[in-house]
Amino acid sequence: MKLYYSPGACSLSPHIVLREAQLDCELICVPTKTHKLPDGSDFYAINPLGYVPVLELDNGNRLREGPAIVQYLADLAPEKHLAPPLGSWDRYRLMEWLTFIGTELHKGFSPLFNPATPADMRQMVLERLRGRLEWLNNELNRRSFLLGDTFSVADAYLFTVTGWSGFVGLDLSAFTHLLTWREQIAARPAVQLAMREEGLIP
């Protein structure tokens, strides 16, 4: 397998899952500005949409979207319990969390990375994100991980997305349960390894 990623982007989520699942995978860095791969080829030939992550299987099949990729990886290593069994109620709860993170948080951050976003719109986006994070903070007061007592692929995704707060001026200090949860996730060996491999920590 190959994982196409950009350091610190949403592709960090499947990268963490790969390390948690202890799966073999070739990592291929995609520069966000040039989209030129290390071998000189054009990343748009891999993903015409131009963004990461992309997981390429040995048979040439490719998956693009992070929530789909992390579930696929989790199902390759069911003994790691990174996702509940297919068809179970808990699996749908996992999908609920992945959808919330993707639509309410991940996409919520997007305008804040765009320098062309007007100041008034930026403020509106920040306020909306704070509202979602306040709700999330309350949820994390009642559980160790998003699905309860077990780390899942949803935790990897949420850790990745909330890690962008410092880059966009979103202060998380009021969300104490979220910060405690982030410290817990950041200390996991697989998370540390993935972040080192992307050059995000020494």
Instruction: Quick: pLDDT tens for 50-99.
Output: 999 999 999 999 999 999 999 999 999 999 999 999 999 999 999 999 99
DSSP string, 30-88: --TTT-B-TTS-BGGGT-TT--S-EEE-TTS-EE--HHHHHHHHHHH-GGG-SSPPTTS
pTM over cut 0.95: yes
For residue 202, being part of any structural domain is answered with no
Q: Look at the chain and report how many structural domains it folds into.
A: 2
Q: Report the percentage of the chain scoring pLDDT > 90.
A: 100
Q: Are 132 and 183 found together in one domain?
A: yes
The mean pLDDT value for 23-50 works out to 97
For residue 99, being part of any structural domain is answered with yes
Output the domain CATH number for residue 172.
Answer: 1.20.1050.10
Instruction: Quick: pLDDT tens for 94-107.
Output: 999 999 999 999 99
The mean pLDDT value for 5-24 works out to 98
Q: Are 97 and 61 found together in one domain?
A: no
Output the domain CATH number for residue 71.
Answer: 3.40.30.10
Q: Are 31 and 96 found together in one domain?
A: no
